[in-house]
Amino acid sequence: MNDLAGNKRIESLDVLRGLALILIIFFHSSIYNFANIHKIDFEDPPLLIIIMSFMALWGGIFIIYSMVVNTIMLSRRSEGSLIFKPFLYVVIAGLIYVIIHYLLNIFLGRWNIDFINNMPDLTVVAASLRDSKLEFPGYTKYFEGSSLSTIAFNLILLTPVLFLLLKHIRKERTQYLLLGLSIALIMILSFARISIFPSFERAVESRHFLAATFFSFTIANPYPLLPYSAYGLTGMMIGLMAYHGRRRLLKLYALPLGTLFCVYGLAGMTEFDKSISRPDFFWYFKTNFELGFFILLIVTALLMQAKNNRLLTRMALLKWFSRVSLTIYLLETTTSELFRVLWFHVVPGWDQTINGCLLFGGMNVLLWSIILFFWQKAGFLCSLEYFWVKMFGRLGKQSTKMDFIR
The string of pLDDT tens digits covering residues 39-86 is 766 666 666 666 666 666 688 999 999 999 999 999 998 887 899 999
Instruction: Give the Cα separation of 148 and 19 in Å (integer).
Output: 18
Residue ranges of E strands in 127-176: none
Q: Are strands 119-121 and 112-114 parallel, antiparallel or unpaired?
A: antiparallel
At residue 204, φ and ψ (nearest 5 deg) are -70, -45
Whole-angstrom CA distances from 292 to 124, 234, 277, 297, 353 are 36, 10, 22, 9, 33
pLDDT tens figures, 268-319: 988 887 766 678 888 899 999 999 999 999 999 999 886 766 777 788 999 9
Half-sphere exposure of 202 (CA within 13 A, CB side): 5
Of the candidates 210, 215, 217, the residue with the CA atom closest to the CA atom of residue 198:
215
In this predicted model, which residue has the larger pLDDT, 197 or 278? 197
pLDDT tens figures, 95-133: 999 999 999 989 998 666 554 445 567 788 888 888 878
What pLDDT shows up at residue 275?
Answer: 67
What pLDDT shows up at residue 32?
Answer: 82
Instruction: Give the Cα separation of 155 and 159 in Å (integer).
Output: 5
What pLDDT shows up at residue 403?
Answer: 60
Cβ distance 338 to 129 under 8 Å? yes
pTM: 0.91
Instruction: Give the Cα separation of 305 and 321 in Å (integer).
Output: 18
